[in-house]
Structure 1
Amino acid sequence: MDLFSDDASLVPIPIEDGELAMLARMPLPASPAQVLEQLIQETTWRAETIVLYGKRFLQPRLTAWFGEAAYTYSGLTLAPAPMTPLLNGLRSTVEDLTGHRYNSVLLNYYRDGADSMGMHSDDEPELGPAPAIASLSLGATRTFVLRHKLNKRTVKIDLRDASLLLMAGELQKYWLHGINKTAKPIGARLNLTFRYVA
């Protein structure tokens, strides 16, 4: 299966207990580098502290939350900023490609290989029992790791510049996902995860 063909439609990725699909290169209003730079420059980034296992930790990346509703995870409540014209345009394209509606987007800014995302599920109640989450990557390629909660099976996917990954069905119920640190010299990466918050 070629996940990186030039076909402009999502390619299903076979996976148990959930739905996963990928588009190698999402159509953008400008070059991926230009969109990346504009988002970095026009976003007010935050270094948030979250609570894990009763302890407070500074997240190893910068974040921003846009949309129609507040969002709470790991003891942190994010108040939404209004969608910018660029984010609204990207959301519209993502909705057309995935067939799902989104009213919010979380931006994660990985400045280099030392920035990461711990293993987790996007299973907060306000996302519903089977959320569709669309993840647009811009910038440096990073490896997306999924691990099944019961049988511990691991799936790894390289998320390249302008790729779009859709997680849906019961994926969040049965799988954890994250981005590991890397010691390799690596450039900046921006990840936009579009979701619907009730």
Structure 2
Amino acid sequence: MSNVLSRRSLILGGLVSAATLAAPAVVRATPTGTVGPDRLWIQRPETGEILNHPFVSRDNRVHRQAWASYSYFWRDIKDGGQAVWMDPRLLVHLSRLQVEISRQRGEEVLLYLNSGYRTVERNARIEGAAQRSLHCVGCAADFFGRNVPHRTLLTIADALPQVGGVGGYSSFTHIDTGAGTRRWGTAVAVRDHRLEAQRARG
């Protein structure tokens, strides 16, 4: 079965469509967020869609439905709503980041997904985008936090265990689950500063 999803495609062994599965959970907004391990409180600024529920469950069917909801949420809204199954490790990284930034600020922090999955065709039209971008295989996220400085998000992202790439941009932060530890943009300066501080503490 192809890993490509769309509103018309059938997923979960052909039991339900992406539209009927994902849409109710995606559009469900809550008055306050719930931040914690294995869940996200996240919004798409362009559409106003919000997800706020766990992406992990001991019930295999519930777990797969949640994964499908997040994968649909990550879809390329600028290229026909095409989607792929997201790398679950990416959701874990973002959840850990959200928990930590919320702990530091003493309040639940909403994350905004600036760019999730991208089709290869659309990625090729984006100036400066990597030719083999991990956005094209469901392994990357560009995001920002409500009322949170980007440098703060970068510092937390850089310290995440087993995170692959971290990129710092003027208006968003990039993380991915690619191989190796990679840093670019302002993330490089943030990492160097963090390492210097660690050395100073001995």
How high is the TM-score relative to the length of structure 2? 0.27
Q: Is the radius of gyration larger for structure 1 or structure 2?
A: 2
- Could you say which structure has the higher helix fraction? 2
Larger relative CO (CA 8 A, sep 6+): 1 or 2? 1
- Could you say which structure has the higher strand fraction? 1
